[in-house]
Amino acid sequence: MTTITSFDTLKIAIRQWYKDRSDVDAYSEDFIALAEQWIEERLRVREMVATTSLTPTAGTATLPTDYLSFYSVSLLISANERKPLDLTDIRTGELQYRDATIAQESAKFTIVGTEIRTYPHATQNLELVYYQRLPKLGTSAQNNWLLTRQPNLYLRAALKEAAQFFHKYDESANFEALADMMVSSIQANDEAASFQRAGMHLVPPTPSPEQGVARAAAREAVHQ
């Protein structure tokens, strides 16, 4: 089997793992793109975290183009002072702060589409700590941090999409269960490393009965 080290070798591995079907090649790039979307919906690890400063206008600022979800939002009071803002929904924010231009420091924020809104309107810059989208693989972008760290996650997620495309729904479900297990393991290891750095011990969660059944089915599929 091909060792996965790049976008091109990932495409070869998808064909090899999916019964060496030659008709997979025409769609492998689509399978990888769909796999990246699936992974982004689930994975949250430290490699995805970034920090940026936003300058609001009338209390509203545009989110970064690679924004996936927020980790924290703070008001930059000074170079050495930050005030964390609390999340609210847009309806509550608009009702609670009907005059959002009042001369008070911002206390809350909400995300609306591609914008962040503050209540009352922020006049200082904001510090946004957020999860970035994955750097997408392609012909001119042969690698990224996730492919280097977890090539098998990319492969299983892409195989899930391939099986679904070819109407092999049981196979797709098995590949998805394997990919889910990998995501859970990656996040548990990431959280454990974070807690260990803080001098704490993390006890992993007990899988639900449904997760146990899915994982058992996935393991059985691998050994068939």
Give strand ranges (E) for the chain: 49-54, 60-62, 67-78, 81-84, 86-87, 108-112, 115-119, 126-132
Q: How far apart are CA 63 and CA 200, in angstroms?
A: 34
Instruction: Please give the C-alpha separations between residue 15 and each of 35, 155, 172, in angstroms, as whole numbers.
Output: 15, 10, 15
Question: Which of 77, 104, 124 lies at the terminal end of a domain, its last residue?
Answer: 124
Instruction: List b or e across 84-110, with b for residues whose CB sees 16 or more CB atoms inside 10 angstroms.
Output: ebeebeeeebeeebeebeeeeebbbbb
Q: Are strands 126-132 and 49-54 parallel, antiparallel or unpaired?
A: antiparallel
Q: How far apart are CA 169 and CA 159, in angstroms?
A: 11
Indicate yes or no: pTM above 0.85.
Answer: no
Tell me what pLDDT residue 100 has: 58
Q: Is residue 1 part of a domain?
A: no
What is the domain count for the chain? 2
Tell me what pLDDT residue 222 has: 42
Q: Let me know whether 142 and 104 are in one domain.
A: no
Tell me what pLDDT residue 80 has: 86
97-110: pLDDT as tens digits: 766 566 678 899 99
Q: Please, what's the largest Cα pairwise distance for the chain?
A: 67
DSSP state of 187: H
Q: Measured on CA atoms in the order 54, 58, 63, 69, is the torsion positive or negative?
A: positive
Closest among 188, 63, 165, 200 to 118, alpha carbons compared: 63
Q: Let me know whether 192 and 150 are in one domain.
A: yes
Q: Is 170 helix (H, G, I), strand (E, B) or coil?
A: helix
19-55: pLDDT as tens digits: 888 899 999 999 999 999 999 999 999 999 999 999 9
Q: Measured on CA atoms in the order 154, 157, 160, 162, is the torsion positive or negative?
A: negative
Q: Let me know whether 196 and 165 are in one domain.
A: yes
Q: Is residue 129 part of a domain?
A: no
Residue-number span of the structural domain to which 219 is assigned: 7-45+136-223
Tell me what pLDDT residue 203 has: 47
203-224: pLDDT as tens digits: 445 454 554 555 555 445 444 4
Q: Is the pLDDT of residue 137 over 80?
A: yes
